[in-house]
Amino acid sequence: MEKVASRKRGGGRRKPDPPERRKVALVLSGGGIPGWMYEIGALTALDEFFTDGFDVTRFDLYVGTSAGAAAAAILAGGIPPRAVYDAIVEDADSPYNFGRRDIYTFGTGETWAMLKKIAAVAGPVVGQVARRILRREAQGASMLDLVYTIQESLPSGLFTLAPLERQMQRILTEAGAGDDFRHLPRPLFVPAVDLDLGQYRIFGMPGYDHVPISRAVAASSAVPVLFQPVQIDGADYIDGGTGRVANMDVAVDHGAGLLIVVNPVVHLENDRRTTCLPTCYGFCKGLKSKGMAFVADQALRINTGMRLRIAKAQQEYLFPGLQIVIIEPDPHETVMFTQNVMAHDSRKEILRYGYRATAQYLIDRFEELEAAFGRFGIGVTLSAFRHRPRTGGFRVLGPNERTRVPGAQPVTEPG
């Protein structure tokens, strides 16, 4: 029987919650470069939220999908998110302060094969067009027909993630964690999809834990069309978020009773009474005025949110007593919505936004979260957060602003 690191779905029956379900898992979903930066900012805030010796490198297990795989690998390797946050914000000479060339580059490795394919089909295509012209059938020819004929000559993706693989290997090796799932201090699971078989593989599980972490991260991050599939053991793999969002069931299947899910991809609630979406032609416009790319992006985000909520409801139904906390951007704010998955120049802005938005989330839900974490023996506090008064409320300060901003005040806990 083929050894497949995947889970069988139950028939919708509730499953008894085992008494050993005491693990706390961190589950990170994708969202391209902006999603990765949002997660680092959010995790920096979450790290400061914990107390009594617990931090985000001490979860019982980690699940990272797509861009979230890189962040999960860093944490599972014992690297604190604040180190990445500071390196980028301060523009330090550090492997954590990555550039575009450290993540992707044009996939020229497939160029020669592509040229050979084009040469093979060029003759028949030209002959077909010539015959139609001679027969006066040219008006029946379509550009779509031509595209369909030559599509197999196109590359499998625009860019390659080989630089990301090398960068992750460097980061993990220099940190002393190593590029081996089996040597990590905490379990790490990275889903990806076998392109030809349409099946999920969970790297980090037995039978798939021999794969280097850096290569598994690249495979899980290979968004179709943008990035070329990543080959592992003779199979081609694509984005682990294909068909799913956060793969929460992986954590549940490994005994997690509390899941902290960080999801950077939310749709924009563009209610123009409360939200002002900027466009090239003015402010406070409808999404339609942003063009087809933003319409498609909004549809994708709506789909992502629905799938995440359905997965959450399913896991909570199947496993009574399971707790799932989802941290994500405010749908009324435009910061994340105006970023594309390849955005790199706005890293600092998104890092700061991820920190501030998450800190505000933790402040607003302190009592609820204190109870949830308390059931697992984890203490939380707001003492690390600072804010300053502003019209209509307070503005949470980022970790690098606390000593520079006059009038900074500590956040007080309820009661």
Residue 316 is given by DSSP the state H
Sign of CA dihedral 377, 378, 383, 386: negative
Decide: residue 165, CB within 10 A, 0-12 exposed, 13-18 middle, 19+ buried: buried
pLDDT of res. 113: 63
| 29 and 343 Cβ atoms separated by less than 8 Å | no
H-type alpha helices, 291-365: 292-318, 347-364
Contacts of 1 (CB under 8 A, 6+ apart): none
pLDDT of res. 314: 95
* pLDDT per residue of the chain (415 residues) written in tens, 0 to 9: 334 454 444 445 555 544 456 899 999 999 988 999 999 999 999 999 999 999 999 999 999 999 999 999 999 999 999 999 999 999 899 999 988 888 988 766 655 565 565 566 556 666 665 565 556 555 555 555 556 666 666 778 889 999 999 999 999 999 999 999 999 999 999 999 999 999 999 999 999 999 999 999 999 999 998 999 999 999 999 999 998 888 999 999 999 999 999 999 999 888 877 777 777 776 777 888 888 988 998 899 999 999 999 999 999 999 999 999 999 999 888 888 877 666 667 888 899 999 999 999 999 999 999 999 999 999 999 988 877 665 445 567 778 766 666 666 777 777 6
pLDDT of res. 4: 43
